Amino acid sequence: MAASKSASTKKSASASKTTSTSKVAKASTGGDGAPKKKDLAKAPSSNARADRAISDTKGRAAASWGDSVAKARGKRPSDKLPKQELLAIYRTMVVARRFEELVIDLFREGELPGFVHVAIGQEGIAAGTGHSLGDGDFIGSTHRAHAHIIARGASPEAMFAEMLGRDTGLCHGKGGSMHLADMSNNVVGANGVVGSGAPMMTGVAMAQKELKTGNIAVAFYGDGASSQGNVHEAMNLAKLWDLPVLFILEDNKYAESTPAWQTTPVDDLAVRGAAFQMKTLAIDGNDVLEVYDAVQEAAEHARSGQGPVYIVAETKRLSGHYVGDAEVYRPKGEAKAARATDPIPAFRAVLLERKVQENEIKAVEAEVEATLEAAVEAARAADRPAPEDALKHVYAEYPYNGPVIGI
């Protein structure tokens, strides 16, 4: 198993970028260092940093970790996975993709209220992580949470029901897409507050350490959230107390509609781990087995008492920020180029290389299609919450017999 990049490696990488970064800075700022409005208005393809981000599908950090992992081929945890587990991972990815496609259909048909954010293109991170964790481990997600929750074993029918406002939903129809939670699968919750999963899961990790459960916590967040103060505070505290938490940054290069090069002063977000002297892994998030291997390594590190791990998983969002997003902020050709990194057909090809038969793969795909179509219909047919239950689960009820984290 490949080790994380050392602090010295990060310093060298940072130093090597100093000259090119300074040239970009001079080109995009005035004499006082303030950004020139005309430069910020240009399409990202005119910016040197943006050009690198668009053309580099894996990223410099991800490539270095991936190359070292490739050298250890045959010794990685994923190399020992049996066929049925490989198919299970593939099924999780296909369920997540088909779920999102049906969510889009339901939203466009006017059946889903509010906004929904789908994770099409990012299924490799969810599936690779979900299949690496133990049953007692916890996750905290984002506003783009469906795939993460599916990968932890939540019922798609209950998720559809929740989003349709039905009483059979995970939260009895009161949470919706951005507040999905499933404590039966240790899903502490999706969250509409950007970056809030990091401090929340740091708290969960502290509970695991104090209670000596041997379980870990996982916080998902995006590159936009990575500049939030609460994320840095959480990482600082987690490292200070060596808490068993994984910070998984899904780096899709966009904070809603704003490209990373307009908001973040570093090209490689993995270098931020050095500020906390935290074990850091930078990976290709579109390679589900690379994600699986990295999370296995990170989980072992955290579970053994060595402290938190920061994982930067580069990926591509193959849809808009929300359903209905016109994506006018994307440079011409970027969306089409991103589809070449789609993790599902890539992993399908790996299955064939590993002697999984075409008919076995098609059987999984057919089963998923039938299962999810039935799940939607069952969710539609379910009852809505009773009006008299409007305040139920809002205020604490005593005696409280609900789940307690870590017990």
Top pLDDT among 232 and 177 is at: 232
Residues in the chain: 407
Whether 347 has a pLDDT exceeding 60, the answer reads yes
State the Cα–Cα distance between residues 219 and 139, nearest whole angstrom: 6
Q: Which residues of 311-328 are buried (b: 16+ CB within 10 A; e: fewer)?
A: bbbbbbbbbbbbbebeee
Opening angle at CA 116, ends 110 and 122, nearest 5: 135
- Per-residue pLDDT of 187-227, as tens digits, reads 998 988 988 999 999 999 999 999 999 999 999 999 888 89
The pLDDT tens digits of the residues spanning 85-134 come to 999 999 999 999 999 999 999 999 989 888 888 889 999 999 999 999 99
Q: What is the pLDDT of residue 65?
A: 54
- Please, what are the domains in the chain? 65-321+334-380 (3.40.50.970)
Contacts of 384 (CB under 8 A, 6+ apart): 165, 166, 167, 173
Which two three-digit tokens encode residue 172?
A: 């009895």
**Pairwise CA distance, residues 148 & 129, whole Å:** 8
> What radius of gyration, in Å, describes the C-alpha atoms of the chain?
21
- The pLDDT > 90 percentage for the chain reads 58
Report the C-alpha gap between 310 and 102 in whole angstroms. 33
